[in-house]
Amino acid sequence: MVNTLIEIDSQGPRGVEVSRRGDWMQTFSGRKFWPLDPRVEEVFTEDIAHALANQCRFGGHCPMRSDYGWLWESPGGKVNAGEDPRLALQRELMEEVQVDSVIHAALASFDVKTGGGRPVRLTFYSVENVGTPRPRDPIGLGWFAADEIATLRLTPGNSLFRETMMELCSIRR
């Protein structure tokens, strides 16, 4: 995909053809970001903090019912056979936190094993919620600032995502 970026220098604005992999998404700060072709200079702390703050929720499972009970995790679930992953995420968000969502670009994917040793692929998407999330599980839902995210006990897949995003953020500083 070829995108035209507008550069402004001492001679004024000019269009520059730049080849980028995948499609771009608009970040919280209003900037363009290519999740499949990230560049250090395009990663901003406020965008990472916003993405992380809107993804974490309490797993709400007691230790006997879950591989990762009492850890924080992003809402989501399994993709049914033949189901589009974005539609599956919309369905899961409605089931788990009762919110309609607009699913944007995939941010990262990780192959991990559950506590029981089952291999799973986790894909994290940029999501825009339409409405206020309300958890069906009575244990809770949490929104966190960037400095709080670093202290949360997360499931392994969510930890990988946090580390990846925070590393990009620290490279940017």
Instruction: Convert the pLDDT of each residue in 79-130 to its tens digit.
Output: 889 999 999 999 988 888 888 888 988 888 888 887 778 888 888 888 888 8
- Least reliable range by pLDDT among 30-34, 42-46, 47-51: 47-51
Global confidence as pTM: 0.57
d(CA 157, CA 32): 26
Nearest CA to 104 among 32, 161, 2? Answer: 32
Would the pLDDT of 60 be above 60?
A: no
Domain annotation for the chain: domains and CATH numbers: 24-172 (3.90.79.10)
pLDDT at 13: 54
pLDDT at 20: 81
What token pair was written down for 123?
């894909």
Q: Encode pLDDT of 68-89 as tens digits.
A: 666 777 778 888 899 999 999 9
For the beta carbon of residue 36, count every other beta carbon within 10 angstroms: 13
Here the tokens at position 118 are 């089952």
The number of residues making up the chain comes to: 173
Distance CA 110, CA 133 (A): 25
